[in-house]
Amino acid sequence: MKLYQAFFPVLFVSLVACQTQPVVDKPVVDKLVVDTAVVGKADVDTVADESQVKAASKIGAVRKVSQDLIDKWLAEEKYSKVLGSLESVPQSKRAKQDRAQLKKIKELADEYDRKQSDTIEQLYEAGDRKTAMALLEKSFNNYSDGSRLWFVKKQIQKKQKNYVREIESQLLLARGEWLLQSVPLYKELLRVEPDDMKIVVAQKQAKEDIAVVATRLTALGIHALSANDYDLASQRLNMANTLAPTSENIAALARLDQLIYEKRVIERDLVQLQEEKQRRLAARKRVKDQRARQAQVDKAGTQLVDKIHHAFAKEELLQAKILIAKLKRVDKHNVDLPRLQKNLNKSVVKKVDALLEKGSELYSNGQIEKAKNLWGSALALDPNNKKAKARIKRAEQVLSKLRELQFKSTGK
């Protein structure tokens, strides 16, 4: 108990001090040059060191900083001093090379601003806060108008305050757990030794500490709630409510429950929207793929139709028949297919009749083998043609008899 009473007040005072101290103070750039019109001089004198610049500023004299001094400041990366001296010279008194030099130095200053800011952020994120803070202060002294340096400063201040709150919260939570365990023990000690004033005072102090810790945890919980950190808010507010319920704490917990519910509803809606988006994308992909496949089918169908027309033109009906069968497999909904099939059927009937008739003429003239070949061509075009089958069968029988007679007569 004595250890806690000695340690925690000092620690909390340190935490509060950390919160109230700024990271760095913005340096004030010394006025290096005054306007010529103020002192009524027509020319601008040149000074070669900083003491002369300060002296001239005090008496209101116009002094142009020497190039050697500017070079010295640039080597030391003191861009505020360089820009302050160059920009303070009236534009009417600036030479062309001075304007070019001013533009170049502004570019260098901006690059310095970016480079230093990146380095400071890297150091801070790596946990080297001491080096980061020292570099930030030095960078501000060199270039107080750096926009990125100002941004990094504000970010670090915010992180520092959040870090202090986090440490304070952990200490308060640990203290709260200790108090929850201690109060019942003090009560038990008083039951055994009710007249022990040390125990009475310790119990009273513990109860007072409970109220203080609960109040501070409630404040930290409300801050976490406003930052939408619901896990931290729940941890702090629930501990405060366990220690010493108050109307403020109960209202904050109710608000927390409402926000968590709204968050879950939003998350659920977002999931549904994402799923719907995925479904729409999948549907679009299916349509796109289907169109691509249909385009391929249309292309293949067009090519087959062209080949079929070419086969018809050359009266290659068997080839046309094969191609039409392929077209049925590839593009069964092709608009030209019914017409082509009809043309094929008519052409086949006509061609088969012609082959049968020509074959019969050859058969009558004793050219049995040639007749059989023509009837075979007719059967290839019309596999179910009964006339072609019968005539081929008859031709084969005749040819067989002729081969037998030849064998008997010649032995071959």
DSSP code string of 207-247: HHHHHHHHHHHHHHHHHHHHTT-HHHHHHHHHHHHHH---H
DSSP state of 91: G
Q: How far is CA 157 from the centre of its chain?
A: 28
CB neighbourhood size of 183 (10 A):
16
Confidence of residue 22 (pLDDT cuts 50, 70, 90): very low
Mean pLDDT of 111-116: 94
Q: CB burial class (10 A; 0-12, 13-18, 19+) of residue 249?
A: buried
**Residue 184 scores a pLDDT above 70:** yes
**Residue 15 scores a pLDDT above 60:** no
Confidence of residue 17 (pLDDT cuts 50, 70, 90): very low
Q: What's the pLDDT score for residue 30? A: 37
Q: What's the pLDDT score for residue 276? A: 95
At residue 42, the 3 state secondary structure works out as coil
Kindly give the interhelix angle for 197-226 and 230-243, rounded to the nearest 10 degrees. 150
Q: What's the pLDDT score for residue 104? A: 92
Mean pLDDT of 218-228: 93
From CA 46, how far away is CA 119, in angstroms rounded?
37
Extract the runs of DSSP E, i.e. beta strands, from 141-224. none
Give me the DSSP letters along 305-327.
Answer: HHHHHHHHHTT-HHHHHHHHHHH
From CA 341, how far away is CA 193, in angstroms rounded?
114
Mean pLDDT of 62-89: 83
Torsions phi, psi for 63 (to 5 deg): -135, 130
Q: Which of 152, 128, 129, 130 is nearest to 140 (CA)?
A: 152
Torsions phi, psi for 47 (to 5 deg): -120, 155
Q: What is the pTM of this model?
A: 0.48
Mean pLDDT of 371-395: 91
Tokens of 249: 């704490």
Could you give the dihedral angle defined by the CA atoms of residues 137, 139, 144 and 148, in that order, rounded to the nearest 10 degrees? -110
pLDDT digits (tens, 9 = 90+) for 320-363: 999 999 999 988 889 999 999 999 999 999 999 999 999 999 99
Confidence of residue 51 (pLDDT cuts 50, 70, 90): low
Domains of the chain: 27-143 (no CATH), 164-263 (1.25.40), 351-412 (1.25.40)
